[in-house]
Amino acid sequence: MKPAISLALLYGGIFGVLGIQLPFWPVYLQGKGLSDVAIGWLLAAPYLVKIISNPLAGHWVDARGDRKLPLQCLAALALASTFFFLFNNDFTVLLILSLLAGGASAALIPLADNLTLTASRVLTLDYGRVRLWGSISFIVTSFLVGELLTVAQPSSILWCTLLGMALCLMVTVKGLPTLPPTQSQQQSGSLRALLQGADFPVFIAAASLIQLSHVIYYGFASLHWRGAGLSNGVIGLLWAEGVIVEVMLFAAGSWVLRFVTPQQMMLAAGAAGALRWTVLAFTTSPWMLAIFQGLHALTYAACHLGAMQFIHRQVPPASSARAQGVYTAVTSGVVPGLAMLGSGALYHALGGLAFLPMAVAAGLSLPLIWRLQLREKIRDANY
């Protein structure tokens, strides 16, 4: 199997599962008779466990200099842990299973990114055009499962999830490209030196602010728009638009990065977030929402592409998996996870105006990214 196809299938499996779980996993858990509080804890668990699972998985990969076995083990653990949801309704057991499955599934994403970015260097693949199949899969699975639930029971959500996880495991066992091992950790220095440097913590903080700014959108945009009288069909189209423009930027990402730096991509993401969330705080007009949903290409895809390229260019190969593990653990795990815990109270107090603190968070990323850009210019001038 060609490396680009196998990696596209891996992303398809990973994000296909997310396309099922993000919209519909609460429905499945509710069908098991769990309370709202219990469901909230089970949904928060996969976010928070990333702070442990992702760096550990990255350390494992960098210590081995190989990615295949860690990816296979994580895919198998995610599948097995989720399978046991079939036989349990006890909250404590489900919380343990959620931590195991969520941690394993979350760690697959940075390792897949690391593998694809390494392959882009060794095999001249286009990262964005491989990664976009994850976004496409997210759209397809969320739509298909939504249609399925009009005629099937909530238990079908679990079976669809298991199918997607089985695809991930199959690809990791049979289809991943073989790449030369990276140098050992001892040869390249530790990740601690990177974290103590001037740039990487600032980069993590800036990316965290941009990711945090999406919390109200992910958690309450649909409820807010429904309360304003928008139909489910219109809301579905608005969400689809966001993913479609994301896919378009992923497809053009390598071309765009010929003309701009990763820091400039992230600057565009922060500025777009400040504008997007400010507008969403004051309008529920479907036409205005349709216009500003197009900024999702910047607030999410430009931030992700810029961040991946920043790590790819700034971090030594033998520390790259750990660096990406730390990046996803913080920016997509603990920071939005903790923010999500308070998002309900914020939306309850402010309604649509809860988007304004999100605009502030995106705006606060700008001076941090600008500092990274200036430091790169200074380094380039010295050379």
Rounded to whole angstroms, the Cα distance separating 125 from 323 reads 21
Residues 136, 7 within the same domain: yes
In a domain, 187, yes or no: no
What the block records as the tokens of 160 is 């669809």
Mean pLDDT of 83-88: 91
Angle at 77 between CA 214 and CA 33, to 5 degrees: 65
What the block records as the tokens of 260 is 């701009």
65: pLDDT strictly greater than 70 = no
Rounded to whole angstroms, the Cα distance separating 107 from 112 reads 9
Range of the domain at 13: 1-174
Mean pLDDT of 46-62: 78
Rounded to whole angstroms, the Cα distance separating 34 from 252 reads 44
Which is more confidently placed, 268 or 60?
A: 268
Rounded to whole angstroms, the Cα distance separating 19 from 157 reads 11
In a domain, 350, yes or no: yes
* Consecutive H or E run containing 374: helix 355-382
Residues 209, 350 within the same domain: yes
Residue 131's pLDDT band, with cuts at 50, 70 and 90, is confident
Single residue among 117, 145, 174 that ends a domain in this structure: 174
| Model pLDDT for residues 292-347, shown as the tens digit of each residue | 999 999 999 999 999 988 888 877 777 777 787 788 888 887 888 788 778 878 88
Cβ contact 94:177 at 8 Å: no
Which is more confidently placed, 77 or 238?
A: 77
Residues 258, 329 within the same domain: yes
In a domain, 180, yes or no: no
In a domain, 159, yes or no: yes
Residues 309, 227 within the same domain: yes
Rounded to whole angstroms, the Cα distance separating 304 from 298 reads 9
Per-residue pLDDT at 211: 93
Mean pLDDT of the residues in the chain: 84
Share of the chain above pLDDT 70, in %: 92
In a domain, 112, yes or no: yes
Pick from 278, 270, 156, 159: which is nearest to 208 by CA?
Answer: 270
| Model pLDDT for residues 163-200, shown as the tens digit of each residue | 999 999 998 888 777 766 655 444 444 556 666 666 88
Count of beta carbons in the 10 Å neighbourhood of residue 1:
12
Residue 76's pLDDT band, with cuts at 50, 70 and 90, is very high
Rounded to whole angstroms, the Cα distance separating 102 from 81 reads 9
Residues 144, 196 within the same domain: no
Cβ contact 107:180 at 8 Å: no
Residues 63, 197 within the same domain: no
In a domain, 183, yes or no: no
201: pLDDT strictly greater than 80 = yes
Residues 249, 290 within the same domain: yes
Which is more confidently placed, 209 or 35?
A: 209
Per-residue pLDDT at 215: 86
> Per-residue b/e over 110-125, b at no fewer than 16 CB within 10 Å?
bbbbbbbbbbbeeeeb
Residues 68, 165 within the same domain: yes
Residue 78's pLDDT band, with cuts at 50, 70 and 90, is very high
Residues 245, 342 within the same domain: yes
DSSP notation for 73-142 = HHHHHHHHHHHGGGG---HHHHHHHHHHHHHHHHHHHHHHHHHHHHHHHHS---HHHHHHHHHHHHHHHH
366: pLDDT strictly greater than 90 = yes
In a domain, 181, yes or no: no
Residues 297, 354 within the same domain: yes
3-class DSSP state of 125: coil
Mean pLDDT of 64-76: 83
Pick from 63, 5, 324: which is nearest to 181 by CA?
Answer: 63
Residues 79, 42 within the same domain: yes
In a domain, 185, yes or no: no
Cβ contact 136:247 at 8 Å: yes
Residues 154, 72 within the same domain: yes
Q: Which CATH number is 344's domain given?
A: 1.20.1250.20
Per-residue pLDDT at 198: 67
Predicted TM-score (pTM) of the model is 0.76
Rounded to whole angstroms, the Cα distance separating 125 from 143 reads 29
Q: In the chain, how many domains are there? A: 2
